[in-house]
Amino acid sequence: MIPLHINVKDKNVLVVGGGKIALRRLLLFLEEGANVIVVSPEVVVEIKNLSNQKKLLWLEKEVELSDLEHAFIIIAATNAPAINEWIAENAKINQLINVASNAEKGNVIVPKSIKKGRLTMSVSTNGASPVLAKQICEQLSLQFDDQFIEELDQMYKIRMNKKRKN
């Protein structure tokens, strides 16, 4: 696997599952402007609240093949590994699929990431230890203070001005 940062703004992201893992994953996509659809008969209260606020669409049912059809990215995050694997097996070849219960069954890993201004840091242990990935990412982020983030923003502005002049 190669690390990529993907623009998901206005892309359809399907999250199958309604628990804490599904919530953590879908929040990342909502933050980046994705159209998030959750398919699950039950969800944690936070997902229900996001649905009530019209920040995502919750389909209160079991997943069906037709649910997978229009998704750019699929997050299989149910508490049933067999369902997660069924989702991965039935995704189209050009869809990105993350299987929370078994990273090897999907073609995408959602790394731990931290954003500070224009700086984005991502860490993955390729499924070996999400807890360790989180610890490493948090330790790395401590190296970059507010002054550094401001300087990075200035670098960006200078670069954009140069591009406009060319």
Domains of the chain in sequence order: 12-105 (3.40.50.720), 112-165 (no CATH)
Instruction: Write down the pLDDT at residue 101.
Output: 87
Provide the percentage of residues in the chain whose pLDDT is more than 90: 80
* pLDDT tens digits for range 88-143: 999 999 999 999 888 889 999 888 888 899 999 999 888 788 899 999 999 999 99
Nearest to residue 88, comparing CAs of 71, 106, 101, 102? 106
- Sign of the four-CA dihedral 118, 8, 51, 113: negative
Indicate whether 73 pLDDT > 90: yes
Q: How far apart are CA 39 and CA 15, in angstroms?
A: 6
pLDDT band at 83 (very low <50, low <70, confident <90, very high): very high
pTM for this one?
0.87
Region for residue 92 given its phi and psi (left: phi exceeds 0; alpha: psi -120 to 50; beta: otherwise): beta
Give mean pLDDT, residues 48-64: 98
